[in-house]
Amino acid sequence: MENMEGIMGYLLRPFFIGLYLGIAGCLFFSIQGKLKARRLKKEIGKLKQHIQIKLDIEAEENERKKHTIEELKKESENLRITLQEYMQKPGRKELRQLHLYQRAVEILIEKAPGFAQSWLSALKEGEEEMKKSEKGVVPFIRRLLPGNSTRTPVLDKPLDTQKE
Report residue 29: phi and psi, to 5°. -70, -30
Read off the pLDDT band of 64 (50, 70, 90): very high
SS3 157: coil
- Is residue 130 in a domain? yes
- Is residue 3 in a domain? no
| Digit-coded pLDDT (tens) for 78-131 | 999 988 887 777 777 777 788 888 888 778 777 777 777 777 778 788 778 777
- Is residue 102 in a domain? yes
If you write DSSP's letter for every residue of 63-114 in order, what string do you get? HHHHHHHHHHHHHHHHHHHHHHHHHHSTTHHHHHHHHHHHHHHHHHHHH-TT
- Is residue 124 in a domain? yes
- Is residue 85 in a domain? no
Q: How many domains does the chain have?
A: 1
pLDDT averaged over the chain?
79
d(CA 96, CA 104): 12
Mean pLDDT score, 62-73: 96
- Is residue 109 in a domain? yes
* Residue-number span of the structural domain to which 132 is assigned: 91-142
88 versus 58: the higher-pLDDT residue is 58
Q: Is the pLDDT of residue 134 over 80?
A: no
- Is residue 118 in a domain? yes
For residue 18, count other CB atoms closer than 10 A to its CB.
10
- Is residue 127 in a domain? yes
pLDDT for 149 equals 45
Q: Are 109 and 116 in contact (CB under 8 A)?
A: yes
